[in-house]
Chains A and B, each alone.
Chain A
Amino acid sequence: MSDTKHTLVALVEDKPGVLTRVASLFRRRGFNIQSLAVGHSEQPGLSRMTVVVNGDSTEVEQVRKQLDKLINVIRVSDITGEDIVARELALIKVKATASTRSEIIQIVDIFRATIVDVSSDSVTVEVTGDEDKVESLIKLLGGFGIKEVTKTGRVALTRGNTPLKLIKNKERRNTYG
């Protein structure tokens, strides 16, 4: 069992302190978060959290079960092996002069990214995609000199008809063992 990147998706109550509980759990159990993204879900009062962690599947299963024990976590799934759509968004501020600006725009077009801000000595690029795409763009733009980068971390959903929703207690099956 080698270390691989796992994507966990959790449906959590939108209450104060929930993010702290999740982050504290990761720290306390010695699990490393690669990225964590959280925002409102389609259900009022619930947020959806996407956590990327490194570890072998036994470790990650332990993370999942510990997360699931938190009272404010409604449900959590490891969707790594599943058919998923995963994206992250990055904003990249690149040094740009009159002579390099057009070349930057060309690269940005190839990546289907957008320029969201321009100043006399820089342009800011917005790119959305999987981590590989974002990384390649950052690498290419690196040649011009990068001033600042910020990323959202991965957000993910499973494809098709398998939504991770609130399941009523009575419908819940004991799936362990």
Chain B
Amino acid sequence: MKKTGAQILCESLIKEGVEVIFGIPGGAVLPLYDTLPQYPQLRHILVRHEQGAAYAADGYARATHKAGVCLATSGPGATNLVTGIANAYMDSSPIIGITGQVARPFIGQDAFQEIDMTGITLPITKHNYLVTDTGELARIVKEAFYIAQTGRPGPVLIDIPKDVQQEEAEFVYPEKVALPGYKIFSQGHSIQVKRAARLINEAEKPVILAGRGVIISQAYDELKELAEKAQIPIVSTLLGIGSFPENHILNFGMLGIHGTAYANLAVQNADLLIAIGMRFDDRATANTSGFAPLAHIIHIDIDPAEIGKNVPVDTPIVGDVKNVLQAMNKEIERRDHLDWLSQLDQWRYEHPSLEIEENDKLLPQYVIRQIYEATQGDAIVVTGIGQNQMWAAQHFVYTKPDSFISSGGLGSMGFELPGAIGAKVGCPEKMVWCIAGDGGFQMTIQELATITQENLAVKIAIINNGYLGMIRQWQELFYKHRYVAAKLWNPDFVKIAEAYDIPGTRVKHREEVISAIQKAIDYPGPFLIDFVVEPEENVYPIVPPGESLSKTLEIPKPAIVDRY
């Protein structure tokens, strides 16, 4: 049956199980928007800036494990998506970007709102398409969803000229994809798996380093089985938070430049490091030349190009984490590692990295901890970037899968609010907390309108210290207190919320924290709390730039930890 390109797109999206599209209309997607009402099963959420659409699609994808879809017009609409697409690319999040393009006869003429979107997104997509033949649209959509969601996930962009949306073509949705150049290595090589299992069985000081790959692969049970069977302590990367319950006795928190001292000590003293679904990002490894100096490194990842990219690896296993761990767990022997675990507990006791100071000040760490206490961890936390992100990562206890969503690789301020919108749309039954910084919040503040228009009960906590806090911290510690462009004049966030028809309150004192959080939780809709926190509080521990994980600076008396 013949259908227009716009109809073909909508029907293909429905075939792929899409329920929500985040977008903004514009000239080059008007035929598509005109068609949308024919498909009421596609819920369109009107955002206020296309960057918000891409972040929301990303937040949706991370919360639901389904591809998120964002839609923008050609030219400025398309370029506004770019940061969000890059964010999804860096964190391996499956989003489908759909952009309008000028009609085919105008392509290459610098027509009104024409931009080479496939050219621009070449390095930040897993793959992208410019649709030049309406008859190929269905196949392209099928391929796009397949590529985005399989293997190492990532964003795929489809650029659709306006006349393709209007032109009719025969619509048959393909059953299969034919992509001879697309390789997925889902099963680990059995010899490597056996070798790794033997190394694990023989190790005296093993450490598991869990990354986002565990979450993408939903290998929570397999990871737990491995850790418990062989009694191996687990540390996680920032994006690996939520892969393993943080209240588990084998959990030693996050490693890295803001990792706990004991997580970093564990890695630096381990004789075997089992890195699972992570890519040795520099924020996790610090200076790689001094990273895990005593360890044999096993690296499990689905992307062969990650093996040996940043850190030399001794035993690589390319495969899907879930499959690899299932195979490996069969070979794992029960161990207790009593000496090693008691050593780690000793370090945890000696270096209480996450202890919150008892005083009258309104400390950001205390705010985060109280949000945890109030929710008992039963919430999705979506963070901004910088200090608020690190405190949210450190002081909330993540006990459930998919409960922490954050922009890791790109570190993109402004992700928090649209990301939380996406998570809430994807998981309406869950409580969603947006932990924002006062700086980043203003980068996508316009999405408060989206929240109100769609009545999304997102709870917003602004960690307001009146600074670009991480910048201020770095200028304090590494630029001799020279604060440049770090101080922020801020609007009255409670009044801003009120203007968007969102109730809110300001908290200036420690004793008001618990009741304000409870008020936000009890309110049956979106709610904003402006926490005016201690302005010059720093994130600790911190590994100074250029140093290895062995040089972890701690609060309150900065002491050098150098034990191995």
Contact = CB atoms under 8 A, between A and B. Distances in A.
Contact of A174 (B127, B147, B187, B305): B187
B181 A71 contact: yes
A164 B189 CA distance: 23
A91 to B, nearest CB: 31
B187 A74 contact: no
B118 A17 contact: yes
Interface string A75-94: 10000000000000000000
A68 B180 contact: no
Contacts of B52: none
Interface in A44-61: 58, 61
A163 B147 CA distance: 28
Nearest to A18: B181
A105 B541 CA distance: 75
Nearest to B300: A177
Nearest to A76: B181
A72 interface: yes
A68 B304 contact: yes
B309 interface: yes
A65 interface: yes
A61 B306 CA distance: 11
Interface in B364-422: none
B181 A28 contact: no
A66 B189 contact: no
Interface string A117-148: 00000000000000000000000000000000
B147 A71 contact: yes
A9 B304 CA distance: 19
A166 B319 CA distance: 22
Contacts of A176: 185, 189, 304, 307, 316, 318
Contacts of A168: 180
Contacts of A69: 303-305
B304 A65 contact: yes
Contact of A71 (B179, B189, B191): B179
A73 interface: yes
A146 to B, nearest CB: 37
Contacts of B147: 71
Interface string B110-147: 00000000110011001100100000000000000001
A74 B181 contact: yes
A35 B494 CA distance: 60
Contact of B183 (A12, A58, A172): A172
Size bin of chain B's contact surface: 20 to 34
Contacts of A72: 181
A71 B182 contact: yes
A10 to B, nearest CB: 10
B256 interface: no
Given A24-B123, A71-B179, A177 B305 contact: no
A20 interface: yes
Interface in A20-48: 20-21, 24-25, 28
A177 to B, nearest CB: 4
Contacts of A65: 304-305, 307
Contacts of A62: 305, 308-309
A169 interface: yes
Nearest to A10: B181
B184 to A, nearest CB: 9
Interface string B156-193: 00000000000000000000000111110101110110
B127 A71 contact: yes
Contacts of B188: 174, 177
Interface string B276-307: 00000000000000000000000000011101
A20 B315 CA distance: 34
A20 B119 contact: yes
A28 B182 CA distance: 21
Interface in B259-283: none
Nearest to B312: A58
Interface of B: 118-119, 122-123, 126-127, 130, 147, 179-183, 185, 187-189, 191-192, 303-305, 307-309, 315-319
8 contacts: A20-B119, A28-B123, A58-B308, A65-B305, A71-B147, A169-B180, A177-B192, A177-B315
